[in-house]
Amino acid sequence: MVSLPGTTDDAPRLPHAGFVALAGRPNVGKSTLVNAMVGRKVAIVSDKPQTTRRAIRGVATGQDVQLVLVDLPGVQRPRDALTERMQRRVERELKDADAALMVLNGEEGVGPGDRWIASLLAAAPVPVVIAVNKIDRLDPSRLITVLSAAAELGIADDIFPVSARKGEGVTELRAHLGTLVPESPFFFPPEDGSDQSDEQLLAELIREQVLRRTFQEVPHSVEVVVDDISVIREDMTRVSGMVWVEAESQKGILIGAHGKMIKTIGTAARKELERELGTQVHLDLSVRVRKGWRGDDRALDRLGIE
């Protein structure tokens, strides 16, 4: 074979970069999948609905491809000011993306909620890929059934079975998404894993620990604000955080008898913050009642929920 000038196999490849919007019902594993593709924790993980409230951007950078992964809030029909904002953000991010990735929960199969999301993606002017997640929990016959149901949605030519938790199929999925984004300089430095500020990331890590330890109405009513991050010395950082709830009863649950619950949350959160910051952490954590914050536009503005 004769190679033309400038087309040799060893010619440097131009960089590619673009935005990939992840859509799916709550709890299909989008945040875990983002973390797996980025290679570090940038989105919190919980089995509670509405865990992801912002369109978190994870940055997955390879040698010549950068994927900006937009982990959309769980697509659902709006119920209040908070979920209305979440839904509007979903629609904007899909419009501005270069590709869309629909994530399905392989354990649960394809249901009405998935079909509703598929109808939204069908109208998106970008290529759509489907990832069937949690395949590590499926036997071969069940996997075939779910993959067939995913194909019947009719929105994607490419369907990838993956286990975000174990990393199975993630490399192949990431490589394929890289073929869908255009030639472009990188949007972020290669070492960046996310576009979140330090305050936002640490607040989310604290909220993750709250979600893991509370039940029923409390998770939906909790938000965390980090007010200050101060370096006390080279190996010590002080973080001041405020947990918002909507009712005194929720505050009581979070504090617990003799302050036991908030101490447990604080201890677990401190370990996550230390892992992220690479220093010891002194965490000041308090709880405040902010009635009706989910329906308060000014409060949502302050929290950065667009």
The CA R_g of the chain, rounded to the nearest whole Å, is 21
pLDDT string in tens for the chain (306-residue length): 333 444 445 555 789 999 999 988 877 888 899 999 999 888 776 655 555 555 567 899 998 999 999 877 655 555 566 566 666 766 777 888 999 999 999 999 999 989 988 988 898 889 999 999 999 999 999 999 999 999 999 999 999 999 999 999 999 999 999 999 999 999 999 988 887 788 888 988 898 888 888 765 565 678 888 989 999 999 999 999 999 888 888 899 889 999 999 999 999 999 999 988 999 999 999 998 888 666 666 666 565 555
Classify domain 16-178 at the CATH topology level: Rossmann fold (3.40.50)
Q: What is the pLDDT of residue 54?
A: 54
Terminal alpha carbon distance of the chain: 55
Q: Is the pTM of this model over 0.85?
A: no
pLDDT at position 148 is 97
| Range(s) of the chain covered by CATH 3.30.300.20 | 198-302
CATH 3.40.50.300 domain extents, the chain = 16-178
CATH no., domain 198-302: 3.30.300.20
pLDDT attached to residue 3: 36
- Check residue 1 and give its pLDDT: 39
Look at the block and give the residue holding tokens 């938790």: 165
Alpha helices (H) along 52-138: 81-96, 112-122
pLDDT for residue 9: 53
Token pair 């002080």 is found at 238
How far apart are the C-alpha atoms of 38 and 41, rounded to whole Å?
A: 8
Q: 196 and 204 in contact (C-beta within 8 Å)? A: yes
Q: Do 56 and 14 meet the contact criterion of CB atoms below 8 Å apart?
A: no
pLDDT at 20: 95
